[in-house]
């Protein structure tokens, strides 16, 4: 009997607990509206109150705090800006030099753009380097425009005056044409042949027997890293540094990879400094480009010696020039340098002065002659003499060119 009463009591408690739980569930279900029948019967209501997955992806747009820092269309505006182009157009003599520039100030490479010269025709950037040269243009004013290409934002047409005669003025846009050796094949382009008149009397030591002369050196990338303090301590008083060259094959304008560190190091050491440019210009207009490049590269530095044009053989594009044209190239370079307020000079060997240029026509400039013997046989006027390429100077590994200067600096 007692056992039956106990079992009945346990059952009653269990039933009471289940009834309480059921009551709680029903109450909470009503409050939350989470019955399954509501989910089925009112899907429209769910869509109205709960955003879909697509709307969830854009829900931040309705958050004012987020919009304070986020501009949803900034990317699109930036893309348009990045595709905006500019045209730089200039003329030296009966020609046009057209450069297609991006918004960062660089020539656009990899696109074969077309430009239209009003009244003349269309011209293509065949090598895709962002530069188009057009020769043989009659003097006058022209509009130059860029044809629609891809997704680029085209610039407005540019009006330019084509000059009848060459003006020996620095080209302000020359920096867009200057390349580094990483952009060209230096083995094919940097091919100067150092062919100088010499005999067995060549003197290779630092000269101390020439009264009134000052000892100097000239250097380029071939001399590699230089300890300029040691050079100064060795007795060297000046240095002529190669700033660049025009490629023997393609005619590209290339900066000497050691120029910047050389001019800074030599200047910091207290040496007097000049520079030279190895020419491969085949027209006076190209010589103006070369001089403009040299002038651009020396910005910010004080020069004590001239800016020289180095004319010698290379097995390249300028070797076949006649005497008149080569002389005109040297004159154009020097005139452009002088118009910019610098002193100009010409470097060549004795044979080159006698047979490849008109040395009388160049005598108003500083003349630097290369001839490797104890006494030069050159009978023309000269201001500097490169007397050996086999010199030894503390601070420079290997051979170096030695020079004597007779000009007062």
**Over the stretch 65-88, which tens digit does the pLDDT of each residue have?**
433 443 433 344 445 556 899 999
Q: What domains are defined for the chain?
A: 2-76 (no CATH), 84-162 (2.60.40.10), 174-405 (3.20.20.80)
**Over the stretch 392-406, which tens digit does the pLDDT of each residue have?**
999 999 999 999 999
Query: What is the predicted pLDDT for the residue at 38?
Result: 33
What three-state secondary structure class fits 108? coil
pLDDT range class, residue 210, cuts 50, 70, 90: confident
Q: What is the DSSP string of 226-280?
A: --HHHHHHTT--EEEEEEEEE-TTT--EEE-TTHHHHHHHHHHTT-EEEEEEE--
The number of helix segments (H) and strand segments (E) in the chain equals 12, 17
Query: What is the predicted pLDDT for the residue at 333?
Result: 98
C-alpha to C-alpha distance for 364 and 383, rounded to whole angstroms: 11
**Over the stretch 287-305, which tens digit does the pLDDT of each residue have?**
999 999 999 999 999 999 9
C-alpha to C-alpha distance for 23 and 15, rounded to whole angstroms: 12
pLDDT for residue 142 is more than 60: yes
Q: How far is CA 196 from CA 59, 199, 202, 244, 393, in A?
A: 79, 10, 11, 21, 21
Query: What is the predicted pLDDT for the residue at 216?
Result: 97
Answer yes or no: are the C-beta atoms of 401 and 386 closer than 8 Å. yes
**Over the stretch 379-395, which tens digit does the pLDDT of each residue have?**
999 999 999 999 999 99
Strands 400-405 and 384-391: antiparallel
Answer yes or no: are the C-beta atoms of 259 and 243 closer than 8 Å. yes
pLDDT for residue 61 is more than 60: no
Instruction: Extract the tokens encoding 61.
Output: 């747009």
Query: What is the predicted pLDDT for the residue at 256?
Result: 98
Tell me the Cα Rg of the chain.
Answer: 39
Q: How far is CA 175 from CA 184, 236, 241, 405, in A?
A: 16, 32, 19, 32
**In the 8-state DSSP scheme, what is residue 329?**
H
pLDDT for residue 34 is more than 60: no
Percent of the chain with pLDDT strictly greater than 90 = 70
What three-state secondary structure class fits 100? strand
What three-state secondary structure class fits 43? helix
């Amino acid at each position: 009997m007692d056992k039956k009463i106990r079992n009945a009591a346990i059952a009653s408690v269990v039933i009471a607990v289940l009834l309480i739980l059921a009551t709680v569930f029903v109450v909470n279900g009503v409050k939350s509206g989470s019955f399954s029948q509501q989910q089925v019967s009112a899907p429209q209501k769910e869509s109205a109150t709960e955003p879909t997955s697509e709307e969830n992806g854009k829900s931040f747009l309705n958050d004012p705090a987020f919009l304070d820092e986020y501009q949803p269309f900034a990317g699109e505006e930036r893309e348009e800006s990045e595709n905006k182009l500019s045209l730089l157009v200039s003329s030296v003599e009966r020609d046009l030099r057209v450069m297609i520039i991006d918004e960062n100030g660089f020539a656009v490479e990899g696109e074969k753009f077309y430009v239209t010269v009003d009244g003349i025709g269309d011209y293509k950037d065949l090598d895709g380097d962002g530069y188009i040269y057009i020769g043989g243009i009659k003097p006058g004013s022209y509009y130059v425009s860029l044809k629609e290409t891809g997704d680029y934002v085209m610039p407005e047409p540019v009006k330019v005056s084509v000059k009848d005669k060459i003006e020996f003025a620095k080209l302000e846009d020359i920096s867009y044409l200057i390349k580094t050796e990483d952009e060209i094949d230096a083995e094919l382009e940097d091919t100067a042949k150092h062919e100088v008149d010499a005999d067995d009397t060549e003197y290779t030591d630092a000269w101390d027997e020439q009264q009134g002369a000052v000892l100097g050196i000239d250097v380029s990338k071939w001399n590699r890293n230089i300890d300029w303090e040691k050079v100064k301590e060795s007795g060297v008083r000046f240095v002529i540094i190669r700033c660049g060259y025009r490629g023997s094959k393609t005619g590209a304008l290339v900066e000497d990879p050691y120029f910047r560190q050389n001019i800074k190091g030599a200047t910091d050491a207290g040496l007097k400094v000049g520079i030279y440019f190895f020419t491969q210009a085949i027209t006076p207009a190209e010589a103006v480009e070369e001089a403009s490049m040299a002038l651009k590269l020396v910005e910010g530095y004080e020069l004590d010696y001239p800016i020289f044009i180095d004319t010698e053989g290379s097995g390249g594009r300028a070797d076949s020039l006649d005497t008149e044209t080569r002389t005109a190239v040297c004159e154009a370079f020097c005139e452009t340098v002088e118009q910019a307020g610098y002193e100009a000079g010409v470097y060549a060997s004795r044979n080159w002065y006698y047979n490849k240029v008109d040395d009388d026509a160049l005598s108003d400039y500083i003349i630097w002659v290369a001839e490797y013997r104890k006494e030069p046989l050159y009978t023309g006027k000269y201001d500097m003499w490169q007397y050996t390429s086999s010199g030894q100077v503390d601070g420079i590994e290997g051979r170096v060119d030695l020079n004597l200067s007779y000009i007062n600096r």
